[in-house]
Amino acid sequence: MKKDLVYNTIVITAVVATMFMVVYNLVLRENFSRIINFSTPSVHRIGEIDGFESAEEDANKPDFPLNLNNATLEELTYIPHIGDVMAERIIYRRRQLGRYVSLEQLMDIKGIGEKIYQDILPYLCLD
């Protein structure tokens, strides 16, 4: 009898603890879904919100196509799909190579696959 009481107490404690953890996780997950928006945020550059670009932004925008062997980090960031990190990778690879001899060398850079390469190709040239 005493043995059954101990066993029943352990089983009941385990069931209650499991139910508590399930409820806790559901509540926690629900609160996270309210706090954190899981959709991909849209990123705008200054002056490009709602399709509006200031005259100052137009003055700083480089003429395309850019010479890949001379382009600065800031100029590269005006190319679609190229942010600060990707521009740094492009410049770092240029320093490793000495200079780019083919635009296809961009596909050796982490994060630039066939699709991104095709998208950025019209914005770049070689000297």
* Domain edges within the chain: 1-40, 55-125
Predicted confidence (pLDDT) per residue in 82-101, tens digit: 999 999 999 999 999 999 99
Superfamily of structural domain 55-125: Photosystem II 12 kDa extrinsic protein (1.10.150.320)
pLDDT number for residue 26: 67
The token pair that represents 109 in the structure block: 């850079």
Alpha-carbon torsion angle 97, 100, 105, 111, nearest 10: 80
Scan for tokens 């005259």, then name that residue.
55
- Per the CB < 8 A criterion, the answer to whether 125 and 69 are in contact is no
- 103-123 pLDDT tens trace: 999 999 999 999 999 999 999
CA distance 61 to 79: 10
Residue 78 or 22, more confident: 78
What are the distances in angstroms from CA 1 to CA 5, 6, 43? 6, 9, 68
Residue 74 pLDDT exceeds 80:
yes
Q: Which of 4-18, 27-41, 47-61, 103-117 has the lowest mean pLDDT?
A: 27-41
3-state secondary structure the chain: CHHHHHHHHHHHHHHHHHHHHHHHHHHHHHHHHHHCCCCCCCCCCCCCHHHCCCHHHHHHCCCCCEECCCCCHHHHCCCCCCCHHHHHHHHHHHHHHCCCCCHHHHHHCCCCCHHHHHHHHHHEECC
